[in-house]
C-alpha cells in the first residue's frame, strides 16, 4: 500500500511524463495487467488499448497543464481531483475530473476517471 507521499510522487511522475509527451515514461508507471475506464471508455481498456489511446492523444493535442488539486489515500486506493488543459486545433481545452486508482507495487493497476464529456466539445 502506498503512503500518501509515495502516491503524490507517483502522480507527479505521471503528470510530468504526460506534460513532456514521454509515452514510454508515462506507460512505465502502469502495471502490465492494468486497466483504464473513463466516461467515454465504458469497457475497461487493457494496457495495449490504453497505450494506443495515450499515443493518439499526444498526436491530437499538445498537453499544457495537469494539476492534481487534491490527493487522498485509503489503503491501496488513491483518489484525486485534477485539472487538465491541452491545445487542440489551435485552441485551449480545459476540464476538471476525479479519479480512483489502485496502486500495486508502486504502479497504477487500475484507473477510473470521472469528468463531463461535454467539457471537451
**pLDDT, tens digit, for every residue of 46-71?**
999 999 999 999 999 999 999 999 99
pTM (two decimals): 0.93
User: How much is the pLDDT for 16?
Assistant: 98
Q: What is the 3-state secondary structure (H, E, C) of the chain?
A: CCCHHHHHHHHHHHHHHHHCCCHHHHHCCEEEEEEEEECCEEEEECHHHHHHHHHHHHHHCEEEEEEEEEEEEECCEEEEEEEEEEEECCEEEEEEEEEEEEEECCEEEEEEEECCHHHHC
Domains and their CATH numbers in the chain: 4-120 (3.10.450.50)
Q: How confident is the model at residue 121 (pLDDT cuts 50, 70, 90)?
A: confident
**pLDDT, tens digit, for every residue of 1-13?**
899 999 999 999 9
Amino acid at each position: 500500500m502506498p503512503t500518501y507521499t509515495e502516491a503524490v510522487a507517483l502522480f507527479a511522475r505521471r503528470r510530468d511524463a504526460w506534460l513532456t509527451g514521454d509515452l514510454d515514461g508515462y506507460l512505465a508507471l502502469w502495471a502490465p495487467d492494468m486497466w483504464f475506464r473513463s466516461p467515454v471508455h465504458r469497457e475497461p481498456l487493457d494496457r495495449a488499448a490504453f497505450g494506443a489511446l495515450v499515443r493518439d492523444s499526444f498526436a491530437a493535442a499538445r498537453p499544457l497543464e495537469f494539476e492534481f488539486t487534491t490527493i487522498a489515500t485509503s489503503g491501496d486506493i488513491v483518489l484525486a481531483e485534477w485539472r487538465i488543459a491541452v491545445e487542440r486545433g489551435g485552441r485551449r481545452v480545459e476540464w476538471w475530473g476525479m479519479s480512483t486508482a489502485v496502486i500495486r507495487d508502486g504502479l497504477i493497476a487500475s484507473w477510473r476517471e470521472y469528468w463531463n464529456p461535454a467539457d471537451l466539445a
